Structure 1
Amino acid sequence: MTEPTAPANHVISEPIGFIGLGAMGAPMVRHLATLGYSLLVYDTNASAVASAVERGAQSMTSAKAIADRAAIVLTCLPSLPAIKEVVFGEEGVSKGGAARILVDFSTTGARFAQDLAADLKSFEIDLLDSPITGNVTTAGNGKLGIMCSGPERAFERVAPIMRDLASLEVLYLGEETGKAQTLKLLNNSLSATGMASACEAFILGVKGGLNPQRMLEIINSGDASSSATRNKFGRSVLPRKFDFGARMAITAKDISLTVEEAQNRGVPMWVAQTVQQVWKYAAMQGGADRDGTSLITYLEPWSGVEVASRGEAISCERAVSVGATFVPHILICDESEAEPISLRLREQGFKVEIPHGEAGAAQPTTVPARSFGTCVLIGVKESDEQSLLVKRIRQAAGEGGVVINTRTMSIAESTRFHQQTRELGLKCVDGLHTGPSHERRSGQGVIIVGGAAAAIDAVVPLLAALSRRVFVISERPGDAQLMHMIHASLFATLLVVTSEAFVAGAKAGLTPLQMRTIMGIETGRNAASARILPEQVATRRFDYGLTLAQARRHLTMATDAARQLGVTTWIFDKVLGVYGLVCSGGHSPEDVSSIAKQYESWAQVKVENVDRAQQAA
Structure 2
Amino acid sequence: MCMDTAELKAEFDISTSIGFIGLGAMGAPMARHLARQGYRLFVHDFNRSTVDSVVQCGAQAVRSAREVADRCSIVLLCLPSLPAIRDVVFGDAGVAGGAAVRVVVDFSTTGADFARETAQRLAARGIALLDSPITGNVTTAGNGKLGIMCSGPRAAYENVAAVMATLASAMVLYLGEESGKAQTLKLLNNLLSATGMASTCEAFILGVKAGLAPRRMLEIINSGDASSSASRNKFARSVLPRRFDFGARMAITAKDISLSVEEAQGRGVPMWVGQAVQQIWKFASTQGGYDRDGTSLITYLEPWAGIEVFSPDEEPSCRISFTEPAHRPLVLICAEADMRVLAERLVASGYSGREDEEARHNIRLRLPYAARVTVTLLSVAEDESGESISVRIAEAARAEAAVVNMCPMARKKAIDIRALLGAETGYCDALHTGTHRDIAAGDGVMIVGGEESAIQAAGHALVNLCRDAFRIGSTAGAAHLMLDIHTSLFATLLAVTSEAYVAGVKAGLAPEQMAKIMRIETGRNAASSRVLPLEVATRKFNYGFSLGDTSARLTAATNEARQLGVTTWIFDKVRGLYGLVQACTDATHDVTTVAQQYERWAGVEVRSAGSTHA
TM-score normalized by the length of structure 2 = 0.97
The alpha-carbon deviation at position 153 of structure 1 amounts to 0.1
SS class of match (1:587)? coil
Identity %: 58
Partner of 2:20: 18
The separation in 1 between residues aligned to 2:159 and 2:371, in whole angstroms, is 68
The alpha-carbon deviation at position 369 of structure 1 amounts to 6.6
Partner of 2:173: 171
SS class of match (1:267)? coil
SS class of match (1:611)? coil
> How big is each residue's C-alpha offset from its partner over 1:309-334, in whole Å with a ceiling of 9 and x where there is no partner?
0644121111146x433421000011
> How big is each residue's C-alpha offset from its partner over 1:419-459, in whole Å with a ceiling of 9 and x where there is no partner?
11226x31111100011111122211111111112211221
Could you tell me which amino acid in structure 1 is paired with residue 273 of structure 2?
V
Asked whether the equivalents of residues 248 and 287 of structure 1 are also in contact (C-alpha less than 8 Å), the reply is yes
Asked whether the equivalents of residues 355 and 396 of structure 1 are also in contact (C-alpha less than 8 Å), the reply is no
The separation in 2 between residues aligned to 1:372 and 1:149, in whole angstroms, is 68
Could you tell me which amino acid in structure 2 is paired with residue 51 of structure 1?
S
Asked whether the equivalents of residues 67 and 98 of structure 1 are also in contact (C-alpha less than 8 Å), the reply is yes
Partner of 2:486: 487
The 1:557–1:470 alpha-carbon spacing in structure 2 relative to 1, beyond 3 Å, is: same
Partner of 1:441: 440
Could you tell me which amino acid in structure 2 is paired with residue 164 of structure 1?
T
Confirm or deny that 1:140 pairs with 2:142: yes
Partner of 1:570: 569
Asked whether the equivalents of residues 353 and 375 of structure 1 are also in contact (C-alpha less than 8 Å), the reply is no
SS class of match (1:466)? coil
Moved more, 378-387 or 467-476: 378-387
The alpha-carbon deviation at position 394 of structure 1 amounts to 1.4
Moved more, 27-36 or 587-596: 587-596
The alpha-carbon deviation at position 383 of structure 1 amounts to 3.5
Moved more, 375-384 or 446-455: 375-384
The 1:23–1:372 alpha-carbon spacing in structure 2 relative to 1, beyond 3 Å, is: farther
The 1:366–1:206 alpha-carbon spacing in structure 2 relative to 1, beyond 3 Å, is: closer
Partner of 2:163: 161
Residues 235-250 of structure 1 mapped to structure 2, 5 A cutoff: 235-250=237-252
Confirm or deny that 1:409 pairs with 2:409: yes
The separation in 2 between residues aligned to 1:385 and 1:229, in whole angstroms, is 36
The separation in 1 between residues aligned to 2:390 and 2:518, in whole angstroms, is 48
CA RMSD of aligned residues (A): 1.7
Confirm or deny that 1:332 pairs with 2:307: no
Asked whether the equivalents of residues 211 and 310 of structure 1 are also in contact (C-alpha less than 8 Å), the reply is no
Asked whether the equivalents of residues 335 and 379 of structure 1 are also in contact (C-alpha less than 8 Å), the reply is yes
Partner of 1:44: 46
Partner of 2:469: 470
Moved more, 452-461 or 594-603: 452-461
The 1:335–1:211 alpha-carbon spacing in structure 2 relative to 1, beyond 3 Å, is: same
Partner of 1:152: 154
Partner of 2:375: 375
Partner of 1:307: 309
The 1:90–1:332 alpha-carbon spacing in structure 2 relative to 1, beyond 3 Å, is: same
Asked whether the equivalents of residues 363 and 376 of structure 2 are also in contact (C-alpha less than 8 Å), the reply is no
Asked whether the equivalents of residues 39 and 57 of structure 1 are also in contact (C-alpha less than 8 Å), the reply is yes
The alpha-carbon deviation at position 346 of structure 1 amounts to 1.8
The alpha-carbon deviation at position 587 of structure 1 amounts to 2.4
Moved more, 305-314 or 479-488: 305-314
The alpha-carbon deviation at position 379 of structure 1 amounts to 1.4
The alpha-carbon deviation at position 353 of structure 1 amounts to 5.3
Moved more, 345-354 or 486-495: 345-354
Partner of 1:400: 400
Partner of 2:236: 234
The 1:509–1:198 alpha-carbon spacing in structure 2 relative to 1, beyond 3 Å, is: same
Partner of 1:502: 501
The separation in 1 between residues aligned to 2:371 and 2:539, in whole angstroms, is 42
The alpha-carbon deviation at position 372 of structure 1 amounts to 8.3
The 1:370–1:167 alpha-carbon spacing in structure 2 relative to 1, beyond 3 Å, is: farther
The 1:364–1:480 alpha-carbon spacing in structure 2 relative to 1, beyond 3 Å, is: closer
Partner of 1:86: 88
The 1:263–1:235 alpha-carbon spacing in structure 2 relative to 1, beyond 3 Å, is: same
Partner of 2:420: 420
Partner of 2:584: 585
Gaps of 5+ in 2: none
The alpha-carbon deviation at position 3 of structure 1 amounts to 3.2
Partner of 1:350: 351
The alpha-carbon deviation at position 183 of structure 1 amounts to 0.3
Confirm or deny that 1:204 pairs with 2:209: no
The alpha-carbon deviation at position 461 of structure 1 amounts to 2.1
The separation in 2 between residues aligned to 1:486 and 1:432, in whole angstroms, is 12
Moved more, 203-212 or 310-319: 310-319
> How big is each residue's C-alpha offset from its partner over 1:378-421, in whole Å with a ceiling of 9 and x where there is no partner?
11222433333222211111111211111112121111001112
The separation in 2 between residues aligned to 1:344 and 1:612, in whole angstroms, is 33
The separation in 2 between residues aligned to 1:182 and 1:359, in whole angstroms, is 55
Asked whether the equivalents of residues 5 and 162 of structure 2 are also in contact (C-alpha less than 8 Å), the reply is no
Partner of 2:391: 391
The separation in 1 between residues aligned to 2:176 and 2:510, in whole angstroms, is 12
The separation in 1 between residues aligned to 2:83 and 2:467, in whole angstroms, is 52
The separation in 2 between residues aligned to 1:587 and 1:438, in whole angstroms, is 21
The alpha-carbon deviation at position 152 of structure 1 amounts to 0.2
Residues 493-572 of structure 1 mapped to structure 2, 5 A cutoff: 493-572=492-571
Could you tell me which amino acid in structure 2 is paired with residue 440 of structure 1?
I
Could you tell me which amino acid in structure 2 is paired with residue 68 of structure 1?
D
The alpha-carbon deviation at position 469 of structure 1 amounts to 0.4
Partner of 1:188: 190
The 1:596–1:17 alpha-carbon spacing in structure 2 relative to 1, beyond 3 Å, is: same
The separation in 2 between residues aligned to 1:136 and 1:573, in whole angstroms, is 33
The 1:167–1:364 alpha-carbon spacing in structure 2 relative to 1, beyond 3 Å, is: closer
The separation in 1 between residues aligned to 2:240 and 2:585, in whole angstroms, is 42
> How big is each residue's C-alpha offset from its partner over 1:328-377, in whole Å with a ceiling of 9 and x where there is no partner?
100001122212211111222334454443598x7756865787821011
Give the count of matched residue pairs.
Answer: 612
The separation in 2 between residues aligned to 1:48 and 1:137, in whole angstroms, is 16
The separation in 2 between residues aligned to 1:330 and 1:352, in whole angstroms, is 14
The 1:53–1:386 alpha-carbon spacing in structure 2 relative to 1, beyond 3 Å, is: same
Asked whether the equivalents of residues 5 and 165 of structure 2 are also in contact (C-alpha less than 8 Å), the reply is no
Asked whether the equivalents of residues 249 and 289 of structure 1 are also in contact (C-alpha less than 8 Å), the reply is yes
Partner of 1:99: 101
The separation in 1 between residues aligned to 2:381 and 2:244, in whole angstroms, is 47
The 1:37–1:349 alpha-carbon spacing in structure 2 relative to 1, beyond 3 Å, is: same
> How big is each residue's C-alpha offset from its partner over 1:49-103, in whole Å with a ceiling of 9 and x where there is no partner?
1111111111011000010110000000000000000000000001111101000
The separation in 2 between residues aligned to 1:140 and 1:551, in whole angstroms, is 41
Could you tell me which amino acid in structure 2 is paired with residue 66 of structure 1?
V
Confirm or deny that 1:453 pairs with 2:455: no
Asked whether the equivalents of residues 75 and 104 of structure 1 are also in contact (C-alpha less than 8 Å), the reply is yes
The separation in 1 between residues aligned to 2:394 and 2:290, in whole angstroms, is 59
Could you tell me which amino acid in structure 2 is paired with residue 287 of structure 1?
G
Asked whether the equivalents of residues 351 and 372 of structure 1 are also in contact (C-alpha less than 8 Å), the reply is no
